[in-house]
Amino acid sequence: MSFSAYDEHMNTAANADAQELAKFSELAHRWWDAGSEFRPLHEINPLRLAWIEELAPLAGKRVLDVGCGGGILAEAMARRAAHVMGIDLAVKPLGVARLHALEQGVTNVEYREVATEALAAEQPACFDVVTCMEMLEHVPDPASVVQACARLARPGGWVFFSTLNRNPKSFLFAIVGAEYVLRLLPRGTHEYARFIRPSELARWCRDAGLVPQAMRGLGYNPFTRRYFMQADTSVNYLVACRLPA
C-alpha cells in the first residue's frame, strides 16, 4: 500500500506528502473560483453540508475541519453558526481561506497550519464535530489521521470522512473520466493506489474507537453536470461515525 513508505519513527508531523501539499498550494488562488478545478468541491458542498447537518446540527457546536484547504466547507459550517477551526498543512490555501472569511465577514472560523496528529495531542476531546473531506487519499498514513480525528472528537461527538473508493469503476470514473475525459480535475490530482475501500476506512474507524453510523455515495451526471447523493458508494463516498458517549 502507498503508506508502506511511511516511517513510524518519524515525527507525526511528517504524515504528509510534500508534493501533494505543493499541488494544492499552487492552485490556491483559484480555490474560490467556482469555475476552476475546484468546481467539484463547490458543487458537492451543499450536499455534504446538508448531510452533516441532518446527523449533527451545527449551530453553536465546536467544529474542526481537517484538510480544510481554501475553506469551502469550513466557512459554510461557520455560516451555520458553528465555531469552526480549519487545519491544513498547505500554507497558501490557508491564506486564501483566511482572506475569504475576512472579505465575507465570517468571524467564527479560524485557520491553523498544524498536523492533525499534533492538534490531537494539544486539544484532545475538544470538538463536537470533526470533518475530514477529500483529504485521506492524499496522505501517506491515512489510518493515523483517522486515529487523530477520533482523539479530537469529544465523547458522543461526530466524525465525518469522505474519500474515493478503490475498484475498477472508481479508476474509470474518478481518474479516467474526471481527469482525462470530462477534465473536471487536473491530471494527476488523484493516485489510484491511495484510494480507500469503505471496509478499510471502517476498520480504521473501529480501531480508533469510532462507530460507523451511516454511509452515502456521491454521483455525477455528466449530461446535466450535477452531483447527487446516492446509496451507491462505489466511487466517491462519505462515512459518518460517532465516538461512544
Nearest to 125 by CA among 159, 161, 157: 157
Task: Work out which of 75, 88, 117, 200 binds ligand SAH, going by CB under 6 A.
Answer: 88
Binds ligand SAH by CB under 6 A, chosen from 51, 56, 64, 69: 69
- The binder of ligand SAH chosen from 100, 138, 166, 216 (CB under 6 A): 138
The only residue of 73, 84, 146, 196 in contact with ligand SAH, by rule CB under 6 A? 73
Q: How far apart are alpha carbons 45 and 155 in whole angstroms? A: 27
**CB neighbour class for 95 (10 Å; exposed up to 12, middle 13-18, buried from 19):** middle
- Least Å distance, CB 160 to ligand SAH, is 11
- State the minimum distance, in angstroms, from the CB of residue 39 to ligand SAH: 11
Considering only 93, 142, 177, 198, the residue that binds ligand SAH (CB under 6 A) is 93
Residue (41 or 153) nearer to ligand SAH, CB: 41
C-alpha cell at 35: 469555475
**Does 139 participate in binding ligand SAH (rule CB under 6 A)?**
yes
Q: How far apart are the first and last CA of the chain?
A: 33
- Closest approach of ligand SAH to the CB of residue 100, in Å: 12
Asked whether position 136 contacts ligand SAH by CB under 6 A, the answer is no
Residue with cell 476552476: 36
Which spans in 11-115 are helix H? 18-26, 39-55, 72-79, 91-104
Q: Report in angstroms the alpha-carbon separations of 78 from 41, 62, 104, 147, 210.
A: 17, 10, 11, 25, 25
Interface stretch with ligand SAH, choices 4-12, 65-73, 152-160, 221-229 (CB under 6 A): 65-73
Alpha carbon 69 to chain centroid, angstroms: 9
Q: Which is nearer to ligand SAH, 170 or 189 (CB)?
A: 189
For 38, the 3-state DSSP assignment is: coil
Binding window for ligand SAH (CB under 6 A); candidates: 66-74, 98-106, 175-183, 233-241: 66-74
Query: Exposure string (b/e) for 172-190, b if CB count within 10 Å is 16 or more?
Result: ebbbebbbeeeebbeeebb
Q: Which of residues 116-135 bind ligand SAH (CB under 6 A)?
A: 133-135
Instruction: Report the residue from 89, 148, 174, 241 that binds ligand SAH according to the rule CB under 6 A.
Output: 89
User: Could you say whether residue 52 binds ligand SAH (CB under 6 A)?
Assistant: no
Of 21, 118, 215, 229, the one binding ligand SAH by CB under 6 A: 21
Q: Which amino acid is at 130?
A: V
